[in-house]
Amino acid sequence: MMTFSLLHIPFVFADLCSFSLSRLRQQQFTAAAPVAASKIRIRLKSFETTHMQAACDKIIEAATATEARIKGPIPLPTKRRIYCVLRSPHVNKDSREHFETRTHNRVIDVYEPTAQTIDALMGLELPAGVDIRVKL
């Protein structure tokens, strides 16, 4: 059985992914080397646009402070969910009320993130009511 140390793993993957070894060595010795992922995609969902805008502003401010490139916030289509409810439980079937919820969506892409960028994004205090999904 053959075991690898963590130092050998990037070189094994470098051969598989056709990266040059000199590029990997250069990235290891730079002070603010980008993280392995070249892009971080942040998806935001909220019922309130004001909370969504506040969260987007905080994320953009934290990412630009660490000199990462930002694209967004990109608005995605708003999803409308309509609920039909009877006004009276026993009579008046024709009398109904309609309620709706609107889910607003945004996407923010962070290009060339560094370790400081990820630390800054992890330490953010964002408003309640905003669902955040981060994909590396």
Q: What is the pLDDT of residues 97-122, one digit of tens each?
A: 999 999 999 999 999 898 899 889 88
- Give the per-residue pLDDT at 21: 39
- Give the per-residue pLDDT at 19: 43
- Give the per-residue pLDDT at 136: 82
In the chain, where the domains are located: 7-33, 37-135
Prediction pTM value: 0.66
Mean model confidence pLDDT for the chain: 79
* Residue count (the chain): 136
| CATH topology (fold) of 37-135 | Alpha-Beta Plaits (3.30.70)
- Determine the average pLDDT of the residues in 65-86: 93
CA angle 133, 135, 136 (to 5 degrees): 150
